[in-house]
């Protein structure tokens, strides 16, 4: 038992200290993760206004002005093609989208929004804009612009410097 306690304590001793910047980044992450969860939940609630899920809403946004292949949609959203394929099939099955022939590629059809999909999307957009206007007013445009710039930098740096994949 004492050996087990000592090895546990020894493990704690071997944990490197944070630099002030590392601690600040960890504090940042501990705020971003719950914010991400809350924004995802809010997105799901907003999507329900139009009878959609958040994921389907995002696909509808992507094809609102121009049809696209599932692969192009997946690439632009940073998602796996197979997952977007399931979303596209569900949107087609629900009447919010349709597949069209693609003159540039025989096998990769284009996903296009239908009138019903556009009506659903507009309903969601109205709810989202009302919510965004309210929250944006509370936070302030200048603060949001600063936060957006910081998040843009964090996204680039996190992609360029991923954590070590070893367990």
For 40-69, the pLDDT digits (tens) are 999 999 999 999 999 999 999 999 999 999
pLDDT in tens, 91-134: 999 999 999 999 888 788 999 999 999 999 999 999 999 999 99
pTM: 0.83
Q: What is the pLDDT of residue 9?
A: 55
pLDDT band at 79 (very low <50, low <70, confident <90, very high): very high
For 144-153, write each residue's pLDDT tens digit. Answer: 999 999 999 9
Per DSSP, what are the bridge partners of residue 97? 113
Whether the Cβ atoms of residue 124 and residue 64 lie closer than 8 Å to each other = no
d(CA 8, CA 37): 32
pLDDT above 70 covers a percentage of the chain that reads 92
Residue 107, judged by CB atoms within 10 A of its CB (0-12, 13-18, 19+), counts as exposed
| β-strand partners of 111 | 68, 99
Residue (of 115, 119, 111, 116) closest to 59 by Cα position:
111
Q: Please give the domain boundaries of the chain with CATH numbers for all domains.
A: 48-156 (1.10.10.10)
pLDDT tens, position by position, 4-43: 555 555 555 678 899 999 999 999 999 999 999 999 999 9
Beta strands in 51-141 (DSSP E): 68-69, 97-100, 110-113
| 3-state SS, residue 111 | strand
Q: Which residues pair with 112 in a beta bridge?
A: 98
Q: In what order do the strands lie in the sheet with 68-69?
A: 68-69, 110-113, 97-100
């Amino acid at each position: 038992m004492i050996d087990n306690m000592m090895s546990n304590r020894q493990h704690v001793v071997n944990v490197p200290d944070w630099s002030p910047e590392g601690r600040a980044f960890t504090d940042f992450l501990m705020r971003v993760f719950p914010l991400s969860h809350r924004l995802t939940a809010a997105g799901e609630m907003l999507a329900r206004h139009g009878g959609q899920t958040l994921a389907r809403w995002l696909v509808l946004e992507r094809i609102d002005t121009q049809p696209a292949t599932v692969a192009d949609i997946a690439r632009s959203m940073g998602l796996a093609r197979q997952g977007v394929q399931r979303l596209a099939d569900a949107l087609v099955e629900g009447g919010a989208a349709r597949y069209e022939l693609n003159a540039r590629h025989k096998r990769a059809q284009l996903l296009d929004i239908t009138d019903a999909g556009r009506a659903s999307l507009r309903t969601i957009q109205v709810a989202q804009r009302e919510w965004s206007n309210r929250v944006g007013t509370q936070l302030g445009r200048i603060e949001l612009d600063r936060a957006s710039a910081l998040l843009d930098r964090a996204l680039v740096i996190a992609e360029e410097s991923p954590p070590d994949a070893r367990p």
